[in-house]
Amino acid sequence: MPELHLDRIDLKILDQLQRDGRISNLKLAESVALSPTAVLARVQRLSKDGVIEGYEARLNPAKLGAGLMVFVEVLLDKTTPHVFDAFKAAVQVRPEIMECHMVAGGFDYLLKTRLTDMAAYRSFAGTVLWQLPGVRETRTYAVMEEVKNTTQLPLLRRPDNA
């Protein structure tokens, strides 16, 4: 896939949208010193090109009964395509699993889970986690304090950007 050329204004638009996805087109245009029509065309292009994947509200997990965050290292019993596929399919349907990443190193997957409390996690571990296809071993890391949580990407100016 060829690399997209993002100029300085594209990066400013993306930075503003990361900070406030609900910003009006008019305010966005003012912040990057372009006409609303030009900004709308750029946002549409960035969306069409897949740079902007979507928009969503950030919710407070504690207020919605998901205050406990737990990271889980998962080691599979076999590393075959069939086992990987079965594991990935099973993870997709579990709402408690917020993220799942295949990693290089001493284990196969890193999961980010959210549950109400430790009792709920214990139940989830026994009825769901340890029953996932191919799971041989897990290591659990309960989060005591969330120090930083952002979805904003660092939009560093690359040398090829005007």
Q: Which CATH number is 90's domain given? A: 3.30.70.920
| Residue 3 confidence (pLDDT) | 75
Residue whose token pair is 């699993």: 97
pLDDT at position 162 is 45
Q: Do 69 and 17 reside in the same domain of the chain?
A: no
Total domain count, the chain = 2
In-domain check, residue 71:
yes
Residue 152 lies in a domain: no
In a domain, residue 155? The reply is: no
At 4 the pLDDT is 83
Answer whether residue 77 is part of any domain: yes
Q: Where are the beta strands (DSSP E) in 82-151?
A: 97-102, 109-115, 135-142
State the 10-residue block means of pLDDT for the chain, 162 residues long.
84 96 97 97 97 95 96 96 97 97 97 98 97 97 96 73 45
Both 100 and 127 in a single domain?
Answer: yes
The maximal CA–CA distance of the chain, rounded, in angstroms, is: 57
pLDDT, residue 161, reads 45
Domain annotation covers residue 55: no
Domain that holds residue 99: 62-142
> What is the value of pTM for the model shown?
0.86
Among 119, 101, 118, CA closest to 110: 101
* Same domain, residue pair 80 and 133: yes
Residues 27 and 66 in one domain: no
Question: Quick count: other Cβ atoms within 10 Å of Cβ 156?
Answer: 7
Q: How far apart are CA 87 and CA 89, in angstroms?
A: 5
CATH value at residue 43: 1.10.10
